[in-house]
């Protein structure tokens, strides 16, 4: 079974229109969707026919709506409900120019005993399971919460980490099976401007030296780079297309990678499906569906060593 963990899920309100500071805005169109990186992974996996269970924290009326929307989409949600607060609401606005403006809430506080319940839940996983830890860490939780979760995971469970900054740096020291920073997150981690594919490889290798086993670096419209624990390097070019929104594209890459690696039995096969899934979501509003991913795959470049 695949499990996803979203520590700070949300309701995403997607709207389109110009943003002018200091004025009242009225949007003629928009839609609501459950959000958060792990939630997005669960949504796409489910649409691809892969059963999974979404774990994390939820609170208040918005938390109940997140669970309802997930179940409406056919996902299994086993969130821990917090005693206080409410799950955050994020507003994502796509302007006519294509630029995006986001207003993201902080989320509810998680008490120590509530955090312990999640730690206990992942300790009950069994060999052969896969665990995806994805997204931001609420201010009430320690920066190394992902590392603590990885400490509780039984041997034989493959783990995927998709986060940034201090939580990522702490997590890689627990030797996760896969980490997936994007190019900007990699630059922030190493306080350097990365130029060229070789520069990306060098920083990714440095992250491997800190403990990550396999690394995918998502590079937006260019594609993605894979470094394996055997020292192999692969690149896959993204399909060309008009980006509508980048929200959820990296999460879709993770979901596509898990689907493709199961389908082909190789990390390289997972990489191509991941790039296709990420692009499919970038080309649409919201998280892409199965048919959109399949269409993007036909235009995605082949995986080749670099």
Domain annotation covers residue 146: no
Same domain, residue pair 119 and 188: no
3-class secondary-structure state, position 98: coil
Q: What is the CATH number of the domain that holds 210?
A: 3.40.1190.20
250 part of a folded domain = yes
Residue numbers of the chain with a pLDDT score lower than 50: none
Of the three residues 132, 156, 188, the one that is the final residue of a domain is: 132
- DSSP structure string for 124-193: T--TT-EEEEES---TTS-TTHHHHHHHHSPTT-EEEEE--HHHHHHHHTT--SEE--BHHHHHHHHTS-
For 33-49, the pLDDT digits (tens) are 899 999 999 999 999 99
- Looking at residue 268, its pLDDT comes to 94
Same domain? For 47 and 123 the reply is yes
97 in a domain, yes or no? yes
**CA proximity to 300, closest of 243, 180, 278:** 278
- 116: its two tokens: 């312990």
Q: Got the DSSP string for 283-300?
A: TSSSS--HHHHHHHHHHS
* Residue 29 burial (10 A CB sphere; 0-12, 13-18, 19+): exposed
With respect to residue 145, please indicate whether it lies within any of the assigned structural domains.
Answer: no
Q: What is the pLDDT of residue 28?
A: 67
**Sheet of 10-16, strands arranged across:** 30-35, 10-16, 88-94, 100-103
**Closest to 76 in 3D by CA, of 57, 59, 52:** 52
Q: Is residue 172, in this structure, part of any structural domain at all?
A: no
For residues 102-113, one letter each, b for 16 or more C-beta atoms within 10 angstroms of the residue's C-beta and e for the rest, the string is eeeeebbbbeee
Q: Which domain holds residue 98?
A: 1-22+29-132
> Is the dihedral angle over the CA atoms 243, 244, 248, 251 positive or is it negative?
negative
Does 220 share its domain with 103? no
- The burial class, CB within 10 Å (0-12 / 13-18 / 19+), for 155 is exposed
Whether residue 102 is found in the same domain as residue 194: no
- For residue 296 the two structure tokens come to 């993007």
- How far does Cα 209 stand from its chain's mean position? 23
Domain co-membership, 61 together with 120: yes
Examine residue 167 and state whether it is found in any structural domain, yes or no.
no
Is there a contact between 139 and 106 (Cβ–Cβ < 8 Å)? Answer: yes
Alpha-carbon gap, residue 179 to 132, rounded angstroms: 10
Q: How many domains does the chain divide into?
A: 2
**171 domain-assigned:** no
Clarify whether 251 is annotated catalytic: yes
Query: How high is the pLDDT of residue 243?
Result: 87
Would you put residue 94 in left (φ > 0), alpha (ψ -120 to 50) or beta?
A: beta
CB 237 within 8 A of CB 296: no
Same domain, 98 and 192: no
User: pLDDT tens across 128-153, in order?
Assistant: 999 999 999 999 999 999 999 999 99
Measured distance CA(150)–CA(243) in Å, rounded? 35
Task: State the angle between helix axes of 183-190 and 165-172 in degrees (0 to 180), rounded to the nearest 10.
Answer: 80
- CA-closest candidate to residue 287, choices 245, 236, 243: 245
77 and 6, same structural domain?
yes
Instruction: State whether 183 and 127 are in the same domain.
Output: no
Residues 47, 144, 162, 251: which is the catalytic one? 251
Q: What is the pLDDT of residue 247?
A: 85
Q: Which of 121, 127, 203 has its CA nearest to residue 159?
A: 127
Tell me, yes or no, whether 120 and 230 share the same domain.
no
33 inside domain: yes
């Amino acid at each position: 079974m695949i499990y996803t963990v979203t520590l700070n899920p949300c309701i995403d309100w997607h709207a389109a229109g110009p943003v002018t500071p200091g004025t009242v805005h009225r949007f003629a169109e928009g839609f609501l969707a459950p959000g958060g990186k792990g939630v997005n992974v669960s949504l796409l996996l489910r649409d691809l026919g892969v059963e999974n269970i979404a774990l994390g924290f939820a609170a208040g009326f918005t938390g109940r709506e997140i669970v309802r929307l997930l179940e409406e989409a056919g996902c299994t949600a086993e969130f821990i409900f917090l005693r206080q607060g409410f799950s955050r609401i994020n507003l994502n606005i796509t302007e006519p120019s294509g630029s995006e403006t986001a207003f993201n809430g902080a989320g509810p506080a998680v008490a120590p005993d509530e955090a312990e319940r999640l730690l206990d839940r992942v300790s009950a996983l069994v060999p052969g399971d896969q665990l995806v830890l994805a997204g931001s860490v609420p201010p009430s939780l320690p920066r190394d919460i992902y590392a603590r979760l990885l400490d509780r995971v039984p041997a034989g469970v493959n783990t995927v980490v998709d986060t940034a900054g201090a939580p990522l740096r702490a997590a890689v020291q627990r030797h996760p099976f896969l980490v997936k920073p994007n190019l900007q997150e990699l630059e922030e981690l190493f306080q350097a401007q990365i130029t060229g594919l070789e520069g990306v490889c060098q920083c990714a290798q440095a992250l491997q030296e800190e403990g990550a086993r396999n690394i995918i670096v998502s590079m937006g419209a260019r594609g993605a780079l894979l470094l394996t624990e055997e020292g192999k390097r692969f690149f896959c070019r993204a399909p060309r297309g008009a980006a509508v929104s980048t929200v959820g594209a990296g999460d879709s890459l993770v979901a596509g990678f898990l689907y493709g690696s199961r389908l082909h039995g190789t990390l390289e096969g997972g990489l191509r499906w991941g790039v296709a899934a990420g692009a499919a979501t970038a080309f649409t509003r919201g998280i892409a569906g199965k048919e959109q991913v399949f269409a993007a795959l036909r235009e995605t470049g082949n995986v080749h060593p670099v």
